[in-house]
């Protein structure tokens, strides 16, 4: 496997500290979310624990990782300069402080402050949407990945707007235009299926072919075309149907979402089967994603056909949300970070030395043993939680699954932080504070913001 793929322009990337701070801060939210999950499984009663758990993982870990990844790779993939490095630096503290405050208020029962921290998150995400949107606007014509990313930005804007509305609704319920469960359903749909999964699908079209050194061919093309048009239409129908209480619209949207995800799972599985490179932590985790996506869609489709407005069917069949959130979203993020962080560090530390002295490959920067250990811990933990959801097993099973996931997340964080600590040009502390050449490589457009 080559150190740097040949079809990306690494010179377009922003300063190293910008994406790395996103990834490191996001990785800190992962064990926090896992601890909250273990506490929820153990039936520990502390405020709105389940809601805090969801926001720590989905917003703190997943969405912050997405923000860092888009900031890093949209300029690289699209061959354009990032609109503003300064705006990219602003979005991180706004989102991070918003998530910490929001989760803290949920746990402490201080609901009156939720709109304040909800507004911070909204502002941070809208800064992100504006900055990446302006960057993408320079890349024409859009390819498949760029079209997915543009749609995801729209979903981010809508989901955060509904999120703030829900936060205000805790204080003033009269502001909600429809019953709260309807707003929650639309918000969760736009956030998980719209913002997060649309980004995931778009990225995997690029990463799945790039890092398997294969091309889409044969049945991949019509399946990909169906996903690209059917999936966003399905998300809008599912979210809109839930918002207005239309089971017919939501059911049609659910069918499109499930079938589109199955189509994409086939495409990804074919890329992995035809891969021309040796297995890496990224590809191993993507193999889990392909299988989990297909299984989750097969379980979700009957539930959505029966009652797409049911609270228990928010993320598909009741009890299998872990299959989607961990088996699909979680393993995509884990696999991608296992390449992105070493890639960013490698470019800034070793790329100039290539050809002049021996340098490590990108995949040599992390510890293979830790990567294998966290993979099996997370896979076993996810399997146990999904089995418990499907078969209502003894509570000890879910407790063991939660502990395994916590152990896996800690191993992952240690491994990724070790890459930065051992190989980054500056110390881990300097990277987190952004004291290393924050304005290095800042585009001219950034000076105008």
Residue 166: pLDDT band by 50, 70, 90 thresholds?
very high
Cβ(378)–Cβ(406) under 8 Å?
A: no
Please tell me the predicted confidence (pLDDT) of residue 140: 78
Position 264 pLDDT exceeds 80: yes
Nearest to 195 by CA among 132, 266, 262, 270: 132
The pLDDT of residue 449 is 44
Mean pLDDT along residues 339-361: 80
Choice between 357 and 250, residue whose per-residue pLDDT is larger: 250
The pLDDT score that the predictor gives to residue 439 is 41
Please report which helix (H) or strand (E) contains residue 93, including its range. helix 85-108
Among the ranges given (14-28, 164-178, 308-322), the one the predictor scored with the smallest mean pLDDT: 14-28
How large is the average pLDDT for residues 335-352? Answer: 82
> pLDDT over 90 for what percent of the chain?
61
Q: Which pair of structure tokens corresponds to residue 403?
A: 């502990």
* Alpha-carbon span 296 to 32, nearest angstrom: 26
Q: What is the dihedral of CA 124, 125, 127, 129, to 10 degrees?
A: 170
From CA 254, how far away is CA 317, in angstroms rounded? 12
pLDDT at 432: 55
The encoded tokens of residue 239 equal 């979210």
Long-range CB pairs of 371-375, under 8 A, 24+ apart, other chains included: 371/281, 371/338, 371/415, 372/281, 373/408, 373/411, 374/334, 374/407, 374/408, 374/409, 374/411, 374/412, 374/415, 375/281, 375/284, 375/285, 375/408
Mean confidence (pLDDT) of the chain: 87
Please write the tens of the pLDDT for every residue from 277-306.
888 888 889 999 999 999 999 999 999 999
If phi over 0 gives left and psi between -120 and 50 gives alpha, with beta otherwise, what is residue 245?
left
Q: Which two tokens stand for residue 38?
A: 């273990």
**Mean pLDDT calculated for residue range 135-162:** 93
Which pLDDT belongs to residue 14? 65
158 pLDDT exceeds 90? yes
CA distance 188 to 178: 15
Q: What pLDDT score does 148 carry?
A: 95
Q: Is the pLDDT of residue 411 over 70?
A: yes
How far are the Cα atoms of 85, 89, 131, 190, 318 from residue 446, in angstroms, in the given order? 6, 11, 10, 30, 47
Least confidently predicted of 19-23, 112-116, 390-394, 438-442: 438-442
* pLDDT at residue 433 greater than cutoff 50: yes
Q: Tokens 């989901």 belong to which residue?
A: 159
Mapping DSSP to helix (H, G, I), strand (E, B) and coil, where does residue 317 land?
coil
**Pairwise CA distance, residues 282 & 300, whole Å:** 26
Lowest mean pLDDT among 139-143, 226-230, 244-248: 139-143
Instruction: Encode pLDDT of 314-337 as tens digits.
Output: 998 877 888 999 999 999 999 888
Could you read off the pLDDT of 223-232 as tens digits, one per residue?
999 999 999 9
- pLDDT of 79 reads 86
Mean pLDDT value of segment 268-283 = 88
Angle between helices 144-171 and 64-78 (to 10 degrees): 150
> Which pLDDT score, from 0 to 100, does residue 445 have?
41
**Chain segment 17-42, per-residue pLDDT in tens:** 788 889 889 989 999 998 998 888 77
pLDDT level of residue 6 (50, 70, 90 thresholds): very low
Quick one: pLDDT at residue 5? Answer: 42
Residue 296 has a pLDDT of: 95
- DSSP assignment of 38-72: HHHHTT---SSHHHHHHHIIIIIIIIHHHHHHHHH
441: pLDDT confidence band, cut at 50, 70 and 90?
Answer: very low
pLDDT for res 431: 58
Residue 47 is predicted with a pLDDT of: 86
Closest CA to 101 of 151, 56, 37, 148: 56
Is the predicted pLDDT of residue 115 greater than 80, yes or no? Answer: yes
Q: Helices (H), strands (E): how many in the chain?
A: 16, 0
Tell me if 378 sits within 8 A of 331, measured CB to CB: yes
Q: How far apart are CA 283 and CA 299, in angstroms?
A: 25
Cα gap 316→254, rounded to integer Å: 9
> Residue range 346-351: average pLDDT?
78
With CA atoms as reference, report the closest residue to 82 among 21, 134, 148: 134
- Quick check: 443 pLDDT over 70? no
Q: What pLDDT band is residue 442 in, cutting at 50, 70 and 90?
A: very low
Share of the chain above pLDDT 70, in %: 91
> Residue 435's pLDDT is what?
45
| pLDDT at site 336 | 86
List, for residues 78-101, the tens digit of each pLDDT value.
888 899 989 998 999 999 999 999
């Amino acid at each position: 496997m080559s150190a740097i793929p040949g079809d990306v322009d690494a010179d377009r990337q922003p300063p190293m500290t910008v994406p790395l701070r996103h990834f490191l801060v996001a990785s800190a939210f992962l064990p926090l979310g896992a601890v909250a999950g273990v506490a929820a499984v153990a039936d520990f009663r502390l405020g709105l624990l389940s809601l805090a758990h969801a926001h720590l993982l989905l917003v703190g870990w997943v969405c912050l990782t997405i923000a860092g990844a888009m900031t890093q790779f949209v300029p690289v993939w699209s061959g354009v300069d990032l609109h503003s490095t300064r705006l990219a630096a602003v979005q991180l503290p706004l989102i991070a402080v918003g998530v910490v405050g929001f989760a803290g208020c949920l746990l402490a029962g201080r609901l009156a402050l939720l709109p304040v921290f909800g507004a911070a998150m909204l502002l941070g995400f809208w800064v992100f949407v504006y900055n990446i949107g302006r960057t993408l606007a320079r890349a024409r014509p859009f390819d498949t990945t760029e079209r997915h990313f543009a749609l995801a930005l729209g979903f981010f804007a809508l989901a955060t707007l509904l999120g703030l509305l829900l936060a205000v609704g805790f204080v003033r319920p009269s502001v909600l235009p429809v019953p709260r469960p309807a707003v929650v359903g639309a918000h969760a749909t736009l956030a998980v299926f719209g913002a997060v999964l649309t980004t995931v699908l778009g990225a995997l079209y690029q990463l799945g072919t790039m890092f398997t050194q294969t091309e889409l061919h044969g049945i991949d093309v019509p399946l990909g075309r169906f996903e690209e048009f059917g999936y966003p239409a399905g998300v809008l129908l599912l979210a809109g149907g839930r918002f207005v209480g239309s089971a017919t619209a939501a059911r049609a949207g659910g069918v499109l979402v499930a079938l589109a995800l199955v189509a994409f799972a086939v495409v990804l599985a074919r890329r992995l089967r035809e891969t021309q490179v040796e297995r890496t932590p990224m590809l191993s985790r993507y193999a889990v994603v392909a299988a989990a996506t297909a299984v989750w869609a097969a379980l979700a489709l009957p539930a959505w056909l029966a009652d797409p407005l049911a609270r228990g069917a928010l993320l598909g069949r009741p009890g299998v949300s872990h299959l989607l959130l961990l088996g699909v979203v979680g393993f995509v993020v884990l696999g991608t970070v296992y390449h992105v962080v070493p890639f960013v560090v490698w470019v800034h530390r070793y790329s100039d030395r290539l050809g002049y002295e021996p340098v490590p490959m990108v995949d040599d920067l992390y510890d293979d043993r830790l990567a294998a250990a966290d993979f099996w811990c997370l896979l076993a933990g996810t399997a146990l939680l999904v089995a418990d959801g499907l078969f209502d097993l003894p509570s000890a099973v879910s407790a063991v699954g939660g502990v395994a996931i916590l152990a896996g997340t800690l191993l992952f964080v240690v491994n990724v932080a070790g890459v930065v600590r051992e190989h980054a040009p500056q110390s881990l502390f300097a990277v987190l504070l952004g004291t290393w050449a924050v304005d290095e490589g800042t585009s001219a457009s950034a000076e105008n913001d």
